[in-house]
Amino acid sequence: MRLCVIPGDGIGREVVPAAVAVLQELLPDLEIVQADGGWDCFQRTGTAMPEATLQAVRTCGAGLFGAVSSPSRAVTGYRSAILTLRRELELFANVRPVRSLPGLTSREDVDLIVVRENTEGLYVGRERSEPGGAVAERRITEAASRRIGARALDLACGHSGGRLTIVHKANVLPLTDGLFRDSVRAVIGEAESPRVGDLIVDELLVDVAALKLLEAPQRFGVIVTTNLFGDILSDAAAHWCGGLGLAPSLNWGEGVAVAEPVHGSAPDIAGTGAANPAAAILSAALLVRHVWQRPAMADLIEGAVRRAMQASGPAAGTAAIGDAVRRNLEVAAASG
């Protein structure tokens, strides 16, 4: 079993070692391959995502990515490391579970997954200037919509929420978002699993979906949506699991996946030791669950994080939380 580790920039370099330590505690034979990527890498080498890193993730079949910084202005030759990774490895599904933490979050009944299409939409990276303005391309294809629909359907069949909600803006974008919605519906219609019959499938326009995520988050099971809507809704939904310090994700393709906390490089706290490593540890648990297919081990990690959060709170700092999670794992192992 091999894992390619790309800490990246800022707090990525602080939270990733905490997550690797948890994995090593449970999987002593796990081989770790360190790889470069991110803004600092771009400044040193002229590329944010070296070909060697892409190859290392392909070879390992699994990656753990910390976070990278990106300038919010055009920089010649620069393309975000994480976007390149998603695109080049066709990590087409970005799976972002949000679960409330009893005793820590303001609600106790939230258990949803945002399944975000991860390769197209507004992220195709085609912007151009034109006289008096600029244009960004937003691309939706039937093939990509069907494959994200199929992945979301699989996840919804295994999820206790019993509901799959398609989120789109087909009232304004009938060609693109209409195609997305219809493609996802077609995949559901063609599915033969008897579990599909038990699912409630519905759809919401993205604006009202945002309101309902604030107003009644417990109504959601699995949400499937296009790239930018998923980016925005997953940060908003993360409020219910305790904020960005606790929100995990898995960029998941065919035969290769990269776990990644939803948060960024957090320059405001980088270097202070304040970053919560829980999101990175929970992201590693998604690899354990979905890629290495060890659900009992993933439950163990999630339980250890939950107890660490309940005992110390999310502000205890990287080292204290990492230690507490590993101690909880030892206690769980000792008690069988």
Q: Which of 11, 15, 83, 112 binds ligand IPM (CB under 6 A)?
A: 83
User: Which tokens in the block code for residue 139?
Assistant: 């691309």
**Contact pick of 269, 297, 316, 320 for ligand NAD (by CB under 6 A):** 269
Tokens of 251: 């960029």
82 vs 222 by CB, closer to Mn ion:
82
Whole-number minimum distance, CB 83 to ligand IPM, in Å? 5
Shortest spacing between CB 274 and ligand NAD, in angstroms: 6
For 167, phi then psi, to 5°, come to: -110, 130
Task: Extract the runs of DSSP E, i.e. beta strands, from the chain.
Answer: 2-8, 31-34, 62-67, 93-99, 111-117, 127-130, 133-136, 163-168, 200-205, 222-225, 250-252, 257-259
- 244 binds, options Mn ion, ligand NAD, ligand IPM, none, Cβ within 5 to 8 A by partner type: ligand NAD
- What minimum distance in Å lies between the beta carbon of 231 and Mn ion? 4
Q: Exposure pattern of 112-145 as b/e (b: 16+ CB <10 Å)?
A: bbbbbbbbbbbbbeeeeeeeeeeeeebebeeebb
Please report whether residue 260 would count as binding Mn ion according to CB under 5 A. Answer: no
By a kind-dependent CB cut-off of 5 to 8 A, residue 317 interacts, out of ligand IPM, Mn ion, ligand NAD, none, with none
Of the candidates 235, 268, 299, 323, the residue annotated as catalytic is 235
Nearer to ligand NAD, 120 or 231 (CB): 231
29 is catalytic: no
Cα 43 to its chain centre, rounded Å, is: 26
Closest by alpha carbon to 63, among 233, 292, 277, 240?
292
Task: Determine how β-strand 250-252 pairs with β-strand 93-99.
Answer: antiparallel
Question: Which ranges constitute the DSSP H helices of 66-158?
Answer: 81-88, 142-157
Decide: residue 320, CB within 10 A, 0-12 exposed, 13-18 middle, 19+ buried.
middle
3-state secondary structure of 212: helix
Asked if 262 interacts with ligand IPM (CB under 6 A), we say yes
Q: Which does 83 bind (CB under 5 to 8 A by kind): Mn ion, ligand NAD, ligand IPM, none?
A: ligand IPM
Q: For ligand NAD, which is the closer residue by CB, 184 or 275?
A: 275
SS3 readout for 145-211: HHHHHHHHHHHHHCCCCCEEEEEECCCCCCCHHHHHHHHHHHHHHHCCCHHHHCCEEEEEEHHHHHH
Nearer to ligand IPM, 35 or 300 (CB): 35
Among 231, 268, 299, 323, the one annotated catalytic: 231
> 45 forms bridges with which residues in the sheet?
none
Smallest gap from Cβ 207 to ligand NAD, in A, equals 22
Confirm if 168 and 180 have CB atoms less than 8 A apart: yes
Considering only residues 219 to 258 of the shown chain, the ones binding Mn ion according to CB under 5 A are: 231
Taking CB under 6 A as the criterion, which residues in 39-78 touch ligand IPM?
Answer: 70
Question: Which C-beta is closer to ligand IPM: that of 121 or that of 221?
Answer: 121
Binding mask 47-86 for ligand NAD (x = CB under 6 A): --------------------xxxx-----------x----
Question: Judged by CB under 6 A, how many residues of this single chain contact ligand NAD?
Answer: 20
- Which sequence positions are flagged as catalytic? 123, 169, 202, 231, 235
| Binding residues for ligand NAD (CB under 6 A) | 11, 15, 67-70, 82, 244-245, 260, 263-269, 275-276, 279
| Binding residues for ligand IPM (CB under 6 A) | 70, 80, 82-83, 231, 262, 264
